[in-house]
Amino acid sequence: MKLPQEVTELVYYIEQKVNIQFAWEVKSTSTGVILARDSYRDTRSSTTKIDTEKDRDVYAPRIQSMMNSIASNFSSTIFSQIEPTLRTRYINLMSNKPKSRNVEEAYDIVKEGNLREAQENI
C-alpha cells in the first residue's frame, strides 16, 4: 500500500494556445475559374509559471509573440504559393497527317502562343 505524500509546494502554470486555420482560393475575374487554392493551419503554445508568492493578481502574458510567429510563417508560405511566376512549357506537335484544315489552323494559333484557344478550335 502506497503511503500518502505530503504536499510541500503548489506550482501553478498558465498555458496559452493560438490556433489559426483557413482556406483561400484565387479566381480569374474574367472566367470565374479557380486558378489556385490551398489551406493554411498553424498552432503555437506557451506555458508560463505563475509565482503566487510574488503576485496576488495574475494576468495572462501577451500572446503577441505567438501571433507574430504565425503571421511570419503564414506570409512566407502564402506568398510563395500565390506569387506570380513565369513557367515555360515545350510541347512537340505531331505532324498533320492526313491533312486537316482545322488542325492546320490550330497549329498556327499554337505558334502564336495560344494553346488553350487552339484546343478549343479543334
21: which 3 cell numbers?
A: 486555420
Question: Which residues span the domain enclosing 17?
Answer: 12-82
> Looking at the structure, do residues 108 and 72 belong to the same domain, yes or no?
no
Convert the pLDDT of each residue in 59-118 to its tens digit: 888 999 999 999 888 888 888 777 777 778 777 777 766 677 777 888 888 888 788 787
1 occurs within a structural domain: no
> Looking at the structure, do residues 73 and 118 belong to the same domain, yes or no?
no
Q: What is the pTM of this model?
A: 0.51
> Looking at the structure, do residues 102 and 55 belong to the same domain, yes or no?
no
Q: Which residues of 10-43 are buried (b: 16+ CB within 10 A; e: fewer)?
A: eeeeeeeebeeeeeeeeeeeeeeeeeeeeeeeee
